[in-house]
Structure 1
Amino acid sequence: MPLVRIKSLPFAQEVELPKVLKTLSKAISESSDIDLHHVMATWDFMTPHHYAHNGNVVDCQPEHTHPVLVHLFAPNFNTEEQIAKMLELIADTLASQLPVSKRNIFINYSPAYSDGVYDEGHVVEWEM
């Protein structure tokens, strides 16, 4: 059930976000051996001039400042190594698809707990 939530400023150039989200979802599915049906990814744009980095605000997404912000939610049964692998995969995939440096992607992880996720009509429980 990985859920990847991405936020950025709007891009100055054309970026095919549906393609980026599909590519990212497929990469996570394949590398983690998780059915694609269980992988979710969203993208939200911040309002221009509403994101400060180093005290500066801008109107569109720069390549080297104002990192693209990514939040990964994934089950807590994943090992530290598996989480690190997912973080690297997300960064690599986004950097290959976007006009943004890999060094300009910020990702944080939050564990999802058994009995703490509602999906497909019920509270999900997993054994570790």
Structure 2
Amino acid sequence: MPLVRIKSLPFDHEVPVPQVISALSQAISDAANIEQQHIMVTWEYLAQSHYSHHGQVAANQPINTHPLLIDLIAPNFNTEKQIASMLELIAHTIAEQVPIAKNNIFINFTPAYSDGVYDEGHIVEWDM
């Protein structure tokens, strides 16, 4: 049930977001052996000039400043090694596909807990 939420400023030229999020979903599926029906990826644009980093406001997404802001929500049964692998995979996949430096990506992991997720019409439980 990984959920990946990406936020960035708009790019100054066209970026094929649908292709990027599809590629990311496929990469997660392949690496973690999770069916794509259980993977969600979103990309939202922040309003121009509504993002300050190091005290500087930018109108469009720079390559080396104003990191992409990514939240990864995944079950808490993942090991630290699995989480680190997912974080690296996400950063690598995005940096390959969009004009952004890999070191200009910020990802935050939030664990999801059994009985703490509602999906497909019911509270989800998993065995540990």
Normalization by structure 2: what TM-score?
0.99
Q: Output one character per residue of 1:37-60: Cα deviation in whole Å (capped at 9) or x when no partner.
A: 100000110011110001000110
Quote the offset at 1:13 in angstroms.
1.1
Structure-1 residue corresponding to 2:58: 58
Q: Residue 126 of structure 2 aligns with which residue? A: 126
Q: Which runs of 4+ in 1 moved over 4 A?
A: none
Query: How many angstroms apart in 2 are the aligned matches of 1:14 and 1:102?
Result: 19
**Partner residue in 1 for 2:112:** 112
Instruction: Please name the residue that 2:10 is paired with.
Output: 10
Could you say what the CA RMSD is over the residues aligned between the two structures, in angstroms?
0.4
Structure 1 SS opposite 2:42: strand
Instruction: Give ranges in structure 1 of 5+ residues lacking alignment.
Output: none
| Unmatched 5+ stretches in structure 2 | none
Paired residue type of 1:4: V
Would you say 1:89 and 2:89 are equivalent positions?
A: yes
Displacement after TM superposition at 1:118 (Å): 0.4
Q: CA deviation at 1:69?
A: 0.3
Counterpart position of 1:30: 30
Deviation at 1:23, TM superposition (A): 0.1
Percent identity of the aligned residues?
A: 62
- 1:56-111 CA distances to partner (integer Å, 9 max, x unpaired)? 00110000000000000000000000000000000000000000000000000000
